[in-house]
């Protein structure tokens, strides 16, 4: 298929494929082939194989398809790796393999989940933050040594001011942000303020539009096709371009049932000490002033073929909007 957009894809744009792969990691090489099929320009994918043989094959494919490549990996755990996280030597090996594959940046997350679901107290969060700092402190000298930009995603964990403080503390030209344009809605941050503050630190982008619906315990949150949600996508695009002209936009059109953000429950507030009623009022106001006529996307009741067809449809609508309205054609 002919190139239709300068955007690439993240694995979550095709969750039905990602969830059927071992470890639920959609490899960057396979993602590049999916991107080529729909006319996208690159991939922001995983690296389940950390061999140099895989890296050389992936680089050849990248060059044949004339695509950009960004790699998702895990922060190191000092001393011994924990779960999917490697030890520092394993992380350094992954950096070398990603570089050999032709990746221009890496993406990691600190919390492997959502803060308001995993944390039951402020002490839990503070303990987790101490661990994050140990991991980041181990990673920074490695990416500096190999000159590989490392973007920490705003992953429904850090609020924007906390993430800014983190970046300023380390002050490394190789430590920045994987900027997700919608995630901070879940921690009651303003989406435009989030983009404006994180854009100067951005190495890679998870590009998405969002829609919300009120419910008894808070609100439901969903990714929707670009231009069909509540986010000001032209302003977001221009803000990122102005701050980081060379950054790539990787579409993350996740098709799933809506996420519950239970911001009217005690559990949600348990790990926050920097959120108050003003943030809640502003979040609820955003929902009420940006009601969407169409229902939020859902996958319950769809068989695998129907789910994949819906993913293709919503990705296609996003590509058309990006080309026609955002200068990403």
- CB 238: neighbour CB atoms within 10 A? 15
Q: How many helices (H) and strands (E) does the chain have?
A: 12, 11
Q: What is the pLDDT of residue 19?
A: 84
Which residue segments constitute the domains of the chain, with CATH numbers given? 8-325 (3.20.20.150)
Q: What is the pLDDT of residue 156?
A: 96
Q: What is the pLDDT of residue 25?
A: 85
Q: Tokens 């996003």 — which residue?
A: 318
Residue 46, token pair as written in the block: 């995983």
Q: What is the pLDDT of residue 85?
A: 80
pTM: 0.95
**Alpha-helix residue ranges (DSSP H) falling in 147-188:** 160-170
**Alpha-helix residue ranges (DSSP H) falling in the chain:** 15-18, 28-38, 52-65, 88-101, 115-118, 122-146, 160-170, 191-198, 233-243, 266-269, 277-288, 304-325
Taking each helix axis from N to C end, the angle separating 28-38 and 304-325, rounded to the nearest 10 degrees, works out to 70
Q: What is the pLDDT of residue 24?
A: 84
Beta bridge partners of 212: 221
Q: Taking a C-beta distance cutoff of 8 angstroms, is the pair 121, 77 a contact?
A: no
Q: What is the pLDDT of residue 21?
A: 83
- CB 44: neighbour CB atoms within 10 A? 33
Q: What is the pLDDT of residue 81?
A: 54
| 10-residue mean pLDDT series, the chain (329 residues) | 93 91 88 97 94 97 98 87 79 97 98 95 96 96 98 97 96 97 97 98 98 96 97 98 98 97 96 92 90 89 95 97 97
Q: Taking a C-beta distance cutoff of 8 angstroms, is the pair 27, 47 a contact?
A: yes
């Amino acid at each position: 298929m002919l190139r239709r957009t300068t955007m690439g894809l993240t694995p979550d744009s095709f969750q039905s494929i990602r969830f059927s792969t071992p470890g639920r990691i959609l490899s960057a090489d396979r993602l590049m082939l999916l991107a080529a099929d729909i006319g996208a320009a690159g991939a922001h994918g995983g690296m389940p194989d950390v061999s140099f043989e895989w890296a050389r094959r992936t680089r050849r494919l990248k060059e044949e398809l004339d695509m950009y490549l960004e790699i998702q990996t895990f922060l190191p755990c000092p001393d011994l790796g924990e779960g999917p996280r490697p030890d520092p030597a394993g992380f350094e090996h992954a950096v070398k393999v990603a570089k050999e594959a032709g990746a221009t940046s890496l993406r990691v997350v600190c919390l492997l989940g959502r803060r308001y679901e995993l944390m039951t107290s402020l002490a839990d969060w503070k303990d987790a933050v101490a661990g994050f700092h140990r991991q980041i402190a181990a990673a920074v000298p490695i990416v500096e040594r190999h000159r590989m930009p490392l973007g920490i995603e705003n992953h429904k964990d850090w609020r924007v001011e906390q993430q800014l403080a983190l970046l300023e503390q380390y002050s490394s030209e190789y430590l920045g942000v994987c900027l997700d344009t919608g995630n901070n809605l879940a921690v009651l941050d303003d989406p435009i303020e989030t983009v404006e503050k994180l854009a100067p630190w951005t190495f890679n982008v998870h590009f998405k539009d969002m829609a919300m619906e009120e419910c008894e315990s808070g609100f439901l949150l969903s990714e929707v096709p670009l231009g069909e949600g509540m986010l000001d996508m032209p302003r977001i695009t221009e803000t990122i371009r102005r701050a980081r002209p060379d950054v790539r936009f990787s579409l993350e059109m996740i098709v799933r049932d809506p996420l519950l953000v239970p911001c009217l429950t005690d559990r949600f507030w348990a790990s926050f000490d920097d959120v108050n009623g003003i943030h809640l009022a502003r979040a609820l106001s955003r929902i009420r002033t940006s009601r969407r006529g169409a229902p939020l996307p859902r996958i319950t009741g769809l068989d695998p073929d129907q789910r994949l067809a819906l993913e293709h449809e919503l990705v296609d609508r996003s590509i058309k909007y990006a080309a026609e309205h955002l200068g990403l054609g």
